[in-house]
Structure 1
Amino acid sequence: MTAADDNTEATHQRARLLVVDDDPDMLRLLSLRLTGAGYQVTPATSAEAALTQLEIEHPQLVLSDVRLPGRDGLQLFDEIRKNHPTLPVILLTAHGTIPDAVEATSRGVFTYLTKPYDARELLEKIAQALALSAPSASPAKGTDERWRSEIVSRSNRMAELLAEARMVAKSDASVLLRGDSGAGKELLARAIHKASARAAKPFVAVNCGAIPEALLESELFGHMKGAFTDAHANHKGLFQQADGGTLLLDEIGDMPPALQVKLLRVLQERAVRPLGGSQSIEVDVRIISATHRDLDAAMAAGQFREDLYYRLNVVTLNLPSLADRREDIPLLANHFLQRLAGKYGKRLSGFAPEALKALATAPWPGNVRQLFNVVEQVCALSTSPLVPLALVQRALRVPTVEVQTYAQAKQRFERDYLVGLLKLTDGNVADAARLADRNRTEFYRLLQKHELTPGSFKADGAQGSGDPVADERQG
């Protein structure tokens, strides 16, 4: 048995189950078997008795026979669903009532088992249902968990990773975070910063693959007034902004080779020289880098410097994919739902059990980021307090996109449009303004609004002088 299994079993042994059956012998047998498996069991011989016990005991799961005197198991489920919508229900059914049980699963019953049931299968289904509805594990009394407050998790894999991260945070060693896109590398970097002696100083993050190469150097190291046409004032680079704190170099594998050389020099000398500057400025920065790429393959292909790799890779932490920490999915989904409910002005109580089951078993190639996007879609579209299965299935069938306001979408389109024009005209502002049917002054205002530098869009052949100021004046 693994540590994860031990942790899950310990969680389940604290769970209380409400077991409903009008056959005294069957009820006694079920109670003994489940008590032997470590559960607390409350027995009931009718639907009416079960509903009374529900208000007294507050169980984590209901296991009921379909055939009961008076109100049957299906009617009991309907009543439970009305008053306790997220409480999982498992039905035990004879062969003659299978069609009714199948219909019940489409309405929200977690699952059904036929009599005579397999004891091992019953325990497995109960464990699955509890895993989907279990609350977050509480931290040990007296421990300060604020450093990792943004990371929602109860899985053993994440617990081990966070323990390593907390140890690493005590040193000043450079850390390389490896993991798929959307797995939460920036959140882990922030947590390491918060747990370190640098917590009171800035945490600064930059995505090395999202900034054009010509702008990245200025962003990282800064520039002096007059270093190029749009440099109207001295600009502190991210290294200086993070002085005393932590700098996250996200997607470090996408950093251009020429900049890798300059970054290595900064790490060796612990000083930066801004563009257009004549003196180096000392900086005290802890470096955390992150990538989803295979850097070993990139080094073999000559795309990533080996000396820089070993400088950055003092300690490596590997983030598991969401598929490797499935027990965290219900916890994350409900966390995101409550967070987003306020944004959309909705009163949402949670997910229907079958909707949560669909989320927990989905493939999630986009990891936590994809889960967030799916939850945002269902939150925006839900018309009932309990998110239904149909809405989750709809969100999972279509490619997930980031939900934006009209203003945000317009801003993104405008920036992408300007970038396209500058690429098309090799950074020539007059030509780009003409194509946009705007005067040059107005076009410059748009570029400043989106922090776009025309000179960075020059074609390679047009950069013969090597002087960014002279090159940009030619545009």
Structure 2
Amino acid sequence: MTGAHILVVDDDPDLLRLLSMRLTGAGYRVTGTASAEEALVKLAMERPQLVLSDVQLPGKDGLALFDAIRAQHPSLPVILLTAHGTIPDAVEATSRGVFTYLTKPFDGKALLDVIANAIAMEGAADTASDGGEVEAWRAEIVSRSNRMAEVLAEAKLVAASDASVLIRGESGSGKELVAQAIHRASPRSGHPFVAVNCGAIPENLLESELFGHVKGAFTGAVANHPGLFQAANGGTLFLDEIGDMPVALQVKLLRVLQERMVRPVGASHAVPVDVRILSATHRDLDLAIIDGSFRKDLYYRLNVVSLSLPTLAERREDIPLLAAHFLARLALKYGRKVNGFAPDAMKALTTASWPGNVRQLHNVVEQVTALATTPLVPLALVQRALRVPSVEVLSYTEARTRFERDYLVGLLKITDGNVADAARLADRNRTEFYRLMQKHGLTPGLFRSDGSVAE
């Protein structure tokens, strides 16, 4: 937050001096004024990131000043300082959009905490940015944390090369956003960025999606289809959840990476492709290599450079920024006049566990935006959204994998471990059913009544 500009309004010269010294000592740039009229003149000359005003002022009071500010700058946060006699007015003002109020005498640390939250919410104190060029390539990544700064510095360095990058991180941590940022910072930025989730496409369709097919290659192939490698020619292909790619297809992908040639399904010859590969996974590929579900040679091809994304819990200083960013977008989407979070609501966000990472935070903010009826989101709405079951923040791939395993377990229990009967019930051939069982670490013996019982 350091370096943000704060306009302080108070007709008590001693308090104005004290506030200015305290905020300047915290790294803020302060402009002090003694009246609402003078504050509006200063505001016309330069828009600050926050206004801190006493309620009782000569001439226009703090509430009238807030109304004038809101008419000109709807998103500019205003904090009111109030004596006990004006608390009802200040409380009423928060329902109209004042960020919050503090009663005199106020705690210095509490004041700094509220100001820091307000500026983060407003999102305008971006003095830590690296300039327009850097912001252009990483514009979609909202962060000021040191952990993310390190990742982004490495991402920018590797973007200049053509090396394959493996992006590791938990589900919902922003792997695709980092891949897009690398592409935008690379010499290939003028060419396509094509993303495919390897776990979301059925195995029998994934090969055709990646490599393409020719007309008549299989039932339903009524026309030539170029595939995603050819669609990304000259640019970047992002293989999300690469750890979920079937082993048989891993062999074909490795051949494409080695030869830089792709042969569509049903074609008699291969065509050259010029594609940079970025991939991502939430799985431990080292363990996948040990259990045979991921090829070591493909791993080395993809993992020339590795980037590891922190969880949201490891970058908590970014939560107010992300919450404000999502709130602004979603308020526009839902047509809501919501401009911030109450201080206790923001505290609840910053201290939550966030097992679903940034995706879960987005879901929570979306829910509270849709239900909010006041300019500031209250604590009760945030607490309600945080109690949503974790299934709400599962990625499609995670939900599909969980259902698939539970489905197989159910069939094998019903058939007492008889794979032929289970495959028939699933309307799948026995070879395919065995492959699905292997994928999920299931064996028939676990389900036979004369053996151990499945979980």
Q: When the two structures are superposed, what TM-score results if normalisation uses the length of structure 1?
A: 0.67
User: Which of the numbers 417, 421, 430 marks the counterpart of 1:460?
Assistant: 430
The 10-residue stretch of structure 1 (203-212 or 36-45) with the greater mean CA deviation from structure 2:
36-45
Q: Which SS does the other structure have where 2:187 is aligned?
A: coil
Structure 1, residues 58-90: CA drift from partner, whole Å, max 9, x if none? Answer: 554566789x6999xxx9579748965862537
* Counterpart contact for 2:77–2:119, Cα < 8 Å: no
Aligned to 1:181: 171
The 1-side partners of 2:179 and 2:429 are apart by 36
Counterpart CA distance in 2 for 1:375 and 1:128 is: 16
Match of 1:279, as an amino acid?
Answer: H
Q: Is the 8 A contact 1:63 1:92 kept in 2?
A: no
User: What's the CA shift for 1:187?
Assistant: 1.9
How do residues 285-296 of structure 1 correspond to structure 2 at under 5 angstroms? 285-296=275-286
1:125-154: CA deviation from partner (whole Å, max 9, x where unpaired): 544444444415265566364333333334
Mapping 1:1-400, distance limit 5 Å? 8-9=1-2, 11-12=3-4, 15-18=5-8, 20=10, 22=12, 28-41=17-30, 49=35, 51-58=36-43, 60-61=49-50, 80=66, 84=70, 87-89=77-79, 110=100, 112=102, 123-124=112-113, 126-135=115-124, 137=126, 143=133, 145-344=135-334, 346=335, 348=337, 350-354=339-343, 355-383=345-373, 387-399=377-389
1:207 deviates by: 0.5
Q: Any idea what the Cα deviations from partners look like across 1:279-311, whole Å, max 9, x if unmatched? A: 232222111000111222222333222221111
Deviation at 1:384, TM superposition (A): 5.2
SS at match of 2:306: strand
Measured after TM superposition, the shift of residue 263 of structure 1 is: 1.6
Change over 3 Å in CA distance of 1:258–1:33 after alignment to 2: same
SS at match of 2:133: coil
Q: One-letter code of the match for 2:136?
A: R
Write the distance in 1 (CA, Å) between the matches of 2:239 and 2:269: 24
**Separation in 1 of the partners of 2:135 and 2:237?**
22
- In 1, the alpha carbon distance for the partners of 2:51 and 2:339 equals 18
The amino acid across from 2:156 in the alignment is R
Other structure's SS at 1:16 match? strand
- Aligned 8 A contact 1:65 1:92 in 2: yes
8 A contact 1:135–1:331 mirrored in 2? no
Q: Hey, what's the Cα distance between the residues in 2 that align with 1:282 and 1:61?
A: 56
AA in 2 matched with 1:314: V
In 2: Cα distance, 1:266 partner to 1:462 partner: 25
Aligned to 1:153, what secondary structure does the other structure show? Answer: coil
- For 2:326 and 2:140, the matched residues in 1 are separated by 11
Distance 1:132 1:341 in 2: 13
Q: What's the Cα RMSD here?
A: 4.3
Q: Deviations over 1:105-138 (max 9, x none)?
A: 99776575885x6655654554444444441526
Identify if the C-alpha distance between structure 1 residues 364 and 40 changes in structure 2 by more than 3 Å, giving closer, same or farther. same
Count of residues paired in the alignment: 393
Q: Indicate the larger mover: 203-212 or 317-326.
A: 317-326
Deviation, structure 1 residue 315: 0.8
Distance in structure 1 (CA, Å) of the matches to 2:119 and 2:210: 48
Give structure 1 stretches of 5+ with no counterpart: 1-7, 404-415, 425-455, 465-475
Cα 1:357–1:291 shift into 2, 3 Å: same
CA distance in 1, matches of 2:52, 2:283: 47
1:29–1:203 distance in 2 versus 1, CA, 3 Å: closer
The alpha carbon displacement at 1:313 in A equals 0.5
Q: 1:362 & 1:377 partners in 2: Cα distance?
A: 16
- Contact in 1 for aligned 2:240/2:279 (Cα 8 Å): yes
Q: Distance in 1 between matches of 2:156 and 2:230?
A: 26
Distance 2:372 2:81 in 1: 28
Q: Which amino acid aligns with 1:228?
A: F
Verify the 8 A CA contact 1:177 1:317 in the aligned structure 2.
Answer: yes
**Structure 2 counterpart of 1:406:** none
Q: CA deviation at 1:209?
A: 0.7
Check the 8 A contact 2:213/2:224 in 1, yes or no: yes
Aligned equivalents of 1:457, 1:135: Cα separation in 2? 57
Query: Any idea what the Cα deviations from partners look like across 1:139-185, whole Å, max 9, x if unmatched?
Result: 55663643333333344443333332222111110011112212221
**Partner-residue secondary structure (3-state), 1:290:** strand
Alignment-mate amino acid for residue 315 of structure 1: V
Q: Give the distance between the partners of 1:462 and 1:43, measured in 2 at CA.
A: 73
d(CA) in 2 for partners of 1:21, 1:298: 68
1:18 partner letter: V
Give the deviation of 1:249 after TM superposition: 0.6
Q: Identity percentage over the alignment? A: 60
1:327-376: CA deviation from partner (whole Å, max 9, x where unpaired): 443443343344344543x1535224435554444433222222333333
Give, in angstroms, the shift of residue 35 of structure 1.
Answer: 3.6
